[in-house]
Amino acid sequence: MTGSLHINGTELQTSFRGNELLLDVLRNLGCTEVKEGCREGACGSCLVLLDGVLVNSCQVLAASALGREITTVKGLGSFHEPHPIQEAFVETGAVQCGFCTPGMVLATFALLKKNPKPEEAEIRHALDGNLCRCTGYVKIIEAVKMAAERMARHG
Amino acid sequence: MAEKHGQRTHVGRSLTKNDSLALATAQERFTADYPLDNPLHCAILYSPHAHAEITSLDTEEAQVLPGVVDILSYKNVPRILHTSAGQGYPEPSPYDAVLFDNRLRYVGDRVALVAAETVDIAREALQKIRVEYNVLEPLLDRRRAMDDGVPRLHGGEDHVKIPVAYEPEKNLAAEVQIAFGDLDEGFSQAEFIEEQDYSLPAASHCAMEPHAALAYIDERGRLVIVSTTQVPFHARRIVSKLIELPLHWIRVIKPRIGGGFGGKQEVILEPLVGLVAWGNQRPARLVLSRREVFVSTRTRHAADLHMKIGAAKDGSITGLQMDCLLDAGGYATHSLTVLSNVGAKVLPLFNKIENISFHGRSVYTNLPVSGAYRGYGATQGYFAFNQQIDAVARWAAQDMVEFCKRWHIREGETSGVFKALGEGKEGVSQVVHSCALSQCLDRGARAIEWKKKRGKQIRVGEDKVKGVGLAVAMQGSGIPLIDMAAASMKMNENGSFNLHIGATDIGTGSDTVLAQIAAEVLKVPIEKIVVLSSDTDLTPFDVGAYASSTTYVSGQAVKACAGKIADQILETAAALLETKQENLVIESESVRDLKTKQTISYEEIATSATYNRDQYQIQAQASYTCEESPPPFIAQFAEVDVDTKTGRIEVVRFVSAADCGQPINPVLAEGQIEGAVVNGISYALWEEYRYDADGRMTNPRFWDYKIFTARDTPEIQTILIPTEEPSGPFGAKSIGEVAINGPAPAIANAIYDAVGVRIRDLPITPEKVWRGLCNIEHTEASASGSGEAETGRASSP
């Protein structure tokens, strides 16, 4: 099927099979910031925001994303203009191998949008769908706290 | 030399990792993210049987499927014996594998590979390959592997031996034996004997990035491989052998790697994409699924340990016997060296024990292949060791913290084990020059409130009881006289530098740590050091990321290299300032004349050297091979709440106090500890390979093989206690592995402290604790009464 995907504010005409996963279509379109860690919705590496809602793109058919707004981690910030969440991940040492980071950053973004001042338990709950084997989550939780503080301060 | 002057300004600082912003904004690329021009997509057919012979393999139907380009199997791939272990050469692992065999040794062993125009076509073609198997009886129980009449996996002429104990006719993949003193005499002096069996399951590294490899032919016809490897130089060597292409025709590039933990210290996919790309003169791509990572890559060695410790009335240890049986799985990669490390990284810790024996065997089974995994045998050994020590200290009515302080190795001391047991052969004698384990024990005990909680069985809520437990451990820093690392560096005319290192950053931050070491020598911000690592064409050799070697071994190569650059800078500055070199010191990006107070900037020096006067390229290279392997030390404390009704265990706090020498980058060092701790807790409580009766893994997915998330993770506290290791770069040792050794035994000891139940087999499930609570009187009786029992498994000292 063909249609347009709205990815990070850009509309892309594309064609794909009806049973193709959003994850595969995004990666084939060059959005390799969406990582594949398990392909069964268990690790959170492939998270994207679909109309602002956090979804594992390996659990979504590309067809169902047609006409909806898809945000990947690249939609939040860039190397030269990083999002405060991305900066906080860098500064706290929350990025080790960095493979889980796009998903972690998006999960943090979704959390802080709903709940700008989360308690630590709420942070841990919000990151429950994201696996990381490098950090032990300690510095990731610090990063979320730092980002929340800064975003609250600067609106 | 520059570093004599002033304080350290660039090491010991928690600078942000030089790739972290690019990673956080997803600018960086991992292997599977690389675009390839019209690649062939590879898919692999795996053995459904634990043990079988292929009697017929018919690829005709698959071959004619439109889009199928190539099919590899034992029928058309040269039979070249090798090991997939990414180790130094010659590898201390037997050459017992070929890329495709007609004999299959585990569920997940490779049968065939299809290369096609799309992944879907490749997978469809796999379904069309007709294979007939003669299913053989599998050997699934390692404890029976050397019995008469059990199936044999290897043997005949079909292996290349290594010059150590290796008897495939008996399924014996490796054997190690050492002894000191007189064990019988030692045990006869004992008033208390603790003799127990311990068991640990296979586990997956669970690096978030699955294994992947790409290959293409470059503009001059050479083969380029991009892969998720911890060992790019070993990968090049092994690929060269397996696809029979000269080494210099192959280039291996390591991009960003999504975690390794030992799982990517294996050369598995690189030869396959190499064969496809070379054979078809087209790019090839192979990305594993998570399921494939579980069943077809590598695991931690499952292990059984038998330990016996004798103690005199005052708690003095009179003898220690450790026997170990490792499950190699279908092939013996890393089996000898992991086995050696079970003893080599554990026994020197309590170096005052005079009577010791260690006997280990690693055996083949028809189960997934074991390999390198963070901790590398020490994790298995310390699980048993620390529970034994807890039992002995308790019997002697001594506090375990004080007990460990009394027995652990100290600065200026040695252990005969260092010399007796190395990486698969005799080791290297060494004296410990830095050890703060006693301080680690004190600081960690304070942080966990040991005195307030130990032995108090504090009730928390109706049915929960609190306990605290301790484990101590050491590791090494590189493999002495084997590991070699090299660095090269040049200075650009604006006073910046390029640092080229073979060292392999797999997410650890070694690119940053090594830049900090160079920055310290040259007194330059790390932003002015452009790091390029792990490209076999562009960087000098390094063994790779394993054996806790990068900071210590590669760090010394970088330090020496930067020192040579500093000398050239000073020499050029002396000419420009018309003074003697000994009057000059390096300061912040400049050189100062101590007599005239005149300074000249790096930019001026480099510009002059490049363009103006006696021109030359300021550049240097250096190599380093370590002569010893100074151990980092750690004391780890678990606080657990045990539900006495259900056996449910909650780890509420976990404290690690570590001596890694001088941490070059404290936040990165903490990150290594924190990651290892949570991996260790997850292994202690949840993780294991489960098999059905036919040897098929039943839980190869994250929904069934659960690992800890942020929500499961307890409060983690990490304390670094710096020491100055004289043999290390700026006093550094290592920190990559040691922290995974303590969680399981510390938790087991804490559970015992809470409710008196000993769990000696991982994972520590609520059911096991609950059963222990039900049988508590029986458990207590057998633990104290087993002293006289001999099991007959003891090796004679």
Write out pLDDT tens, residues B319-356: 999 999 999 999 999 999 999 999 999 999 999 999 99
Q: Which residue of B has its CA nearest to A85?
A: B24
A98 with B261: Cβ contact below 8 A = no
Give CA–CA dist B750/B743, Å, rounded: 10
The one-letter code for the residue type at A73 is: V
| Residue numbers in B near A138 (CB within 8 A) | 670-671, 674, 713, 716, 718
Average pLDDT over residues B154-170: 79
pLDDT tens profile B191-206: 999 999 999 999 999 9
A138 with B256: Cβ contact below 8 A = no
In the predicted structure, residue B783 carries a pLDDT above the cut 60: no
Q: What are the residue ranges of CATH 3.30.365.10 in chain B? A: 2-29+484-625, 303-479+628-788
**Residue A126 — left, alpha, or beta (φ > 0 → left; ψ -120 to 50 → alpha)?**
alpha
Alpha helix ranges (H) inside B128-180? none
Q: Which residue of A has its CA nearest to B703?
A: A42
| Residue numbers in B near A132 (CB within 8 A) | 208, 710
**Sheet with B356-364, edge to edge strand ranges:** B172-180, B356-364, B317-329, B303-311, B192-200
Q: Which residue of A79, A92, A133 is in closest CB contact with B25?
A: A79
Identify the weakest region by mean pLDDT among A63-77, A102-116, B235-249, B766-780. B766-780
Side-chain-facing half-sphere of B10: CA atoms under 13 Å: 24
Band of the pLDDT at A154, cuts 50, 70, 90? confident
| Average pLDDT along chain B | 95
Mutate to test the interface with B, among A99, A105, A123, A145 (most CBs of B within 10 A): A99
Q: Let me know how long chain B is.
A: 797
Identify the pLDDT of residue B786: 43
The secondary structure element, H or E, covering residue B52 is strand B52-58
In the predicted structure, residue B777 carries a pLDDT above the cut 70: no
Give CA–CA dist B99/B369, Å, rounded: 14
Cβ burial B421-453 (10 Å sphere, 16+ → b, else e): bbbbeebbebebbbbbbbbbbbbbbebbebeeb
Identify the weakest region by mean pLDDT among A42-46, B7-11, B60-64. B7-11
Q: What does the DSSP assignment read for B627-654? A: S--PPPEEEEEEEEEEETTT--EEEEEE
Fold of B2-29+484-625: Aldehyde Oxidoreductase; domain 4 (3.30.365)
Give B511 to chain A, closest Cα distance, Å.
12
3-state percent helix, strand, coil for chain A, nearest multiple of 5: 40, 15, 45
Average pLDDT over residues B616-634: 97
SS3 of B233-263: HHHHHHHHHHCCCCHHHEEEECCECCCCCCC
A128 with B29: Cβ contact below 8 A = no
**More confident: B3 or B296:** B296
Q: Which residue of A has its CA nearest to B715?
A: A138
Locus of tokens 């509420």: B652
Q: Yes or no: is domain A84-153 CATH 1.10.150.120?
A: yes
pLDDT tens profile B505-533: 999 999 999 999 999 999 999 999 999 99
Instruction: Specify the CATH architecture of the domain A2-75.
Output: Roll (3.10)
Instruction: Specify the CATH architecture of the domain B34-136+211-287.
Output: Alpha-Beta Complex (3.90)
Give CA–CA dist B658/B676, Å, rounded: 12
**Token output for B123:** 């997978």
Q: Which residue of B has its CA nearest to A77?
A: B25
Q: Which residue of A39, A78, A99 is in closest CB contact with B25?
A: A78
DSSP letter at B13? Answer: S
Identify the pLDDT of residue B695: 98
Average pLDDT over residues B729-736: 98
Q: Which residue of B has its CA nearest to A87?
A: B21
Give B25 to chain A, closest Cα distance, Å.
5
Q: Give this prediction's pTM.
A: 0.96
Determine contact, residues A133/B708, Cβ cutoff 8 Å: no
Identify the pLDDT of residue B1: 38
**Token output for B700:** 């190869």
Q: Which residue of A35, A82, A141 is in closest CB contact with B24?
A: A82
Identify the pLDDT of residue B616: 98
pLDDT tens profile B379-391: 999 999 999 999 9
Backbone Cα Rg of chain A: 15
| Residue numbers in B near A98 (CB within 8 A) | 19-20, 23-24, 28, 256, 258, 507
Q: How many CB atoms are closer than 10 A to CB B150?
A: 18
Locus of tokens 């290959």: B215
Band of the pLDDT at B161, cuts 50, 70, 90? low
Pairing of strands B529-533, B584-587: unpaired
Give CA–CA dist A55/A76, Å, rounded: 16
Give B291 to chain A, closest Cα distance, Å.
8
A136 with B713: Cβ contact below 8 A = yes
Band of the pLDDT at B425, cuts 50, 70, 90? confident
The one-letter code for the residue type at B10 is: H
Give CA–CA dist B212/B385, Å, rounded: 37
B209 with A37: Cβ contact below 8 A = yes
Average pLDDT over residues B147-162: 83
Residue B512: name the closest of B29, B22, B19 by CA. B19
A134 with B507: Cβ contact below 8 A = yes
For B303-479+628-788, CATH gives 3.30.365.10
Average pLDDT over residues B675-681: 98
Q: Let me know how long chain A is.
A: 155
**Token output for B277:** 């790309």
Q: Which residue of B23, B673, B702 is in closest CB contact with A131?
A: B702
Alpha helix ranges (H) inside B360-399? 378-395
pLDDT tens profile B82-141: 999 999 999 999 999 999 999 999 999 999 999 999 999 999 999 999 999 999 999 999
Identify the pLDDT of residue B778: 58
| Residue numbers in B near A95 (CB within 8 A) | 17, 19-20, 23-24
Identify the pLDDT of residue B793: 29
Q: How many CB atoms are closer than 10 A to CB B180?
A: 19
Tell me the CA distances in angstroms from B458 to B465, B467, B628, B639, B752, one per residue in order. Answer: 6, 7, 45, 11, 13
Identify the pLDDT of residue B313: 93
Identify the pLDDT of residue B7: 83
Mutate to test the interface with A, among B21, B33, B208 (most CBs of A within 10 A): B208
Band of the pLDDT at B157, cuts 50, 70, 90? low
ipTM surpasses 0.95: yes
Q: Which residue of B has its CA nearest to A94?
A: B671
Domain boundaries, chain A: 2-75, 84-153
In the predicted structure, residue B562 carries a pLDDT above the cut 60: yes
Backbone angles phi, psi at B654, to 5 degrees: -145, 125
B711 with A78: Cβ contact below 8 A = no
pLDDT tens profile B356-382: 999 999 999 999 999 999 999 999 999
Q: What are the residue ranges of CATH 3.90.1170.50 in chain B? A: 34-136+211-287
Name A57's Cβ contacts closer than 8 Å, sequence gap at least 6.
Answer: A21, A22, A23, A26, A34, A46, A47, A48
Average pLDDT over residues B626-649: 97
